[in-house]
Structure 1
Amino acid sequence: MKPEEEQQLIQIAQMYYMENKTQSEIAKELHIHRSTISRLLKLSRQEGIVEITIHGLHDQNFPLENRLKERYHLKYVGVVTCTEGLTRDQRSIILANKTNAYFQTILEDHMVLGFFLGCDPSSSCQSFDQSGPTYPFDVCTLNGWFFRTYSQ
Structure 2
Amino acid sequence: VLFGVVDGVKASISNNKEINQMKVLLFSDDLLSLDSVTSVLIGFRSNEIETNRLGDIFGFGSGTFNHITLYGDDFVEIRKEATKMLRYSKVFGKRNQPIPKITKEDKLKINKSMDFCPTGAIIEKEGFYLIDKNKCIKCYFCVEIAGDVFKI
Category of TM-score, reference length = shorter chain? under 0.3
**Structure with the bigger percentage of helix:** 1
Larger RCO: 1 or 2 (CA < 8 Å, sep 6+): 2
| Structure with larger Rg | 1
Give the TM-score taking structure 2 as reference length: 0.24
- Greater strand fraction, Structure 1 or Structure 2: 2
